[in-house]
Every structure is written in C-alpha cells, then in structure tokens.
Amino acid sequence: MIVGSFVSFRCARYLVKDDRIYPFAIAVVVGGLVAARIAHVSDNWNVYAGRPFELVAFWNGGIATTGAPIGSSIAGYVMARRLRLPLGFMFDISVIGIALGEAVGRIGDVINGEHHAVACTGLAWCVRYTNPATLGQTDYVHPIAAYDGLIMLAIFVVLLAYWRRVRGRPPEGRAYSAYLLLFGGARFLTSFLRVDPIFLAGWQEAQVLGFLYAIGGAVMLPVLSARERLDRAGTRGTTTSE
C-alpha cells in the first residue's frame, strides 16, 4: 500500500496539487480492503458460515484481491465527487499505484506459500514448501504467486507508459480501462493454474470477476479512444472554419 500510494501521489501531482489526494487514497484503500474481504468470505463461505464472528477479522483468512477493484471504484467515485476531483484522472493514477502495490504484495505470498497451485513438472522453477510452518504444498507446483507478481509488475510498467502518453488528452479513464482489461484477463488465465473452490458454472470466483473486468475494460477502452479521436477531429474542424 505504501509503495503503490507513493507512486500514485507522484502521478497525481501532474494535475492535483493540494492535499485532497490523501482522503481520496484512504477511501480507495479502505473500499478495496472491504470488498476484497467480502470476496474472500464469499469464496470460502463453507468455512465462515459457522463462524460469523470471523467475517470482519481481516487477520484471519485474508482477502481476495480480485474483489478489490469493485470496492475501490465505488469508494473512489464517492470521494472524488465529494472532493470535486477529476474522476477519470484519479482513477487512472490510482490503478497505476495499485498494480505496483499488488506486485510487491505477492512477495509475501511467495514466502508463506499461499495460493495453492496445480502440479508442476519439467520446469526449472517448480517449487515445493518443505517447512511445515508455511501454507504451501509439499509436492512440486507452479509458483502461482510469483507468476502473479511478475504479471502485475509488467502491468504497472505498461500502465505507467500508457498514462504518460495519454495524460492531458481527454477523455481520462483510459489507464483505468486498460487496468481492468489487463488485470482481469491475467487473473482469468492464471486461475487455471490455481487450486481454488469452484464458484459459478465451473469457474473460480477470480475467473468470474476477472472475465467481467476484462470485458468491461475491452468495451471502455476503445470507446474512450474513439471519443478522443472525435474530439480532436471536431477541434480541427472548428479551427479550419475559423
């Protein structure tokens, strides 16, 4: 959170010079955590159904990051409107930091062996956890947390480069749309290597949410890009007529 927020704050200074970015960031983080916890509980309801007092115990069982974009988007929208911040711009700079933060966060998952994966053979990077204190599997499996970390690092690089190219050229929100497309698509695909509960129609919860995010981003990104082209064409037409 600290690393991601630092990057987002630096990006925000391109347009927002005052301290409104701080309450906005708090809202995005809290909203993301709440939604991620809800996603984790719903994905493991058979565990929590008999222990309702643990529903809000973030330290017990963890969170599901695929649920975070929903809560972060809702909280960010409300706070941006309340603080009169440019909505699309704030969403763009937020997902840049979020992508980097998720990449850093996967280091902890690698250490404790979270996110059980399918068997891995014949690859130099297959892993197994021999320490009984970890959560990992004792058989050789794919290092799915490392995959996710590297993917999120790549997404961060892509988003930052893309945002630098389109910033200041409305409409804003294209980096956010690209995040939904890339993050959603990646989680949908990497989930085939995970050993997680089936959530809906043979898909894991991460696959369902990832698919929806990817579809949303795939629709929003070309629409926003088309709006920019139309705006530029209209501007050139007005200049020519004058």
pLDDT tens-digit map of 131-160:
888 888 999 999 999 999 999 999 999 999
Cα distance between residue 212 and residue 86, in whole Å: 25
If you average pLDDT over every residue of the chain, what do you get? 90
pLDDT of residue 161: 97
Helix (H) or strand (E) holding 194: none
**Segments making up each domain of the chain, as ranges:** 2-241
Helix (H) or strand (E) holding 13: none
Q: pTM of the entire structure?
A: 0.90
pLDDT of residue 143: 95
Task: Give the pair of three-digit tokens for residue 154.
Answer: 């790549």
Residue by residue, DSSP assigns 61-118 as: T---GGGHHHHHHHHHHHHHHHHT--HHHHHHHHHHHHHHHHHHHHHHHHHHT-S-B-
Phi-psi region of 43 (alpha: psi -120 to 50; beta: other; left: phi over 0): alpha
pLDDT of residue 170: 87
Cα distance between residue 231 and residue 171, in whole Å: 9
Burial category of 207 from C-beta neighbours within 10 Å (exposed 0-12, middle 13-18, buried 19 and up): buried
pLDDT of residue 48: 79
Q: Is 36 helix (H, G, I), strand (E, B) or coil?
A: helix
Cα distance between residue 194 and residue 71, in whole Å: 24
Residues of the chain with pLDDT under 50: none
pLDDT of residue 104: 96
pLDDT of residue 236: 58
Q: Is 141 helix (H, G, I), strand (E, B) or coil?
A: strand
pLDDT of residue 58: 64
Task: Give the pair of three-digit tokens for residue 199.
Answer: 């959530």
